Amino acid sequence: MSRKSFTYAFGAVALGSALVLSGCSSSDGADTAVDETVVQQTPEVDVPAQDLVLTAAELPSGFEAIELPEGAMEDAFDELVDGTEGMEIEPAQCSNPNPLPDDIDFNEVGMIVASSGGAAAAATGGTIFAEVVMPGAQSLDEMVESVSGECSTLTMRGTPAGSPEEVSTTATFTEIDAPDTSADEVFAVRQETTTEVGGQSVDTVTLAGYATVNGYSVSVQFTGTDPDESSFNEAFAAAVDKVADHT
């Protein structure tokens, strides 16, 4: 599976968590052509995305930033994409567009990851927070469609590259109300995920918000067993409004 066809379900939402849960460590499928007809809005004010993410001091109450080694974001994304080799998505027509472009320059991406319960927060009752800001923005309509209707429940199963056992992951999406922000477009979704491997099952919940503002793309995710929606709304609004205020 190419980056273009990698789903929002197992891409953007998983990226922040994977950076932490994989210990920041770091195989490819068939290529899918990139849609060159999509018009992407570029920033009117050129501010480095790294300067637009929330700082450690601006994180939601109870969260502590996690320091990421150089190259961790790119390694984690490559691991997620490569790990889908040999995996199948059902329904097949719901193989969704990738939240990060194929030609992305990770040096232009701003990101912060934090935790309310240590590096293994998502598995121990805490919550992992991840924010990504990058220059360039396109309509969120395709994203909304990718997790709606017959695509509101997706299953990915198979044996990932490097894994000796079959993995089955089912994600169910429910659109939720997004907080009031200065975004040009905004979309928020609750993702309930069950992953089964080796006879064991793990349930997680992700609250994910996506926005376009002044030519930038902003995403915020809260992942855990029971992430707090009010804290998510506060963090999402703060992230979007910071980009709006500085661009």
| pLDDT tens by residue, 195-208 | 898 889 989 899 99
> Which CATH code for domain 12-26+48-246?
3.40.1000
Helices (H), the chain: 12-21, 72-82, 121-124, 141-146, 229-246
Residue 80: helix, strand or coil by DSSP?
helix
At 147 the pLDDT is: 84
List beta partners, residue 208.
189, 221
Q: Name the residue ranges covered by the structural domains of the chain.
A: 12-26+48-246
pLDDT of residue 81: 65
Measure the CA–CA gap between 195 and 207, rounded to whole angstroms. Answer: 17
Q: Tell me if residue 179 falls in helix, strand or coil.
A: coil
Give 22-60 pLDDT, tens digit per residue: 333 333 333 333 343 344 577 776 899 999 999 999 999
pLDDT of residue 7: 34
| Residues of the chain below pLDDT 70 | 1-40, 45, 80-86, 95-103, 117-125, 162
> So what's the pLDDT on residue 72?
73
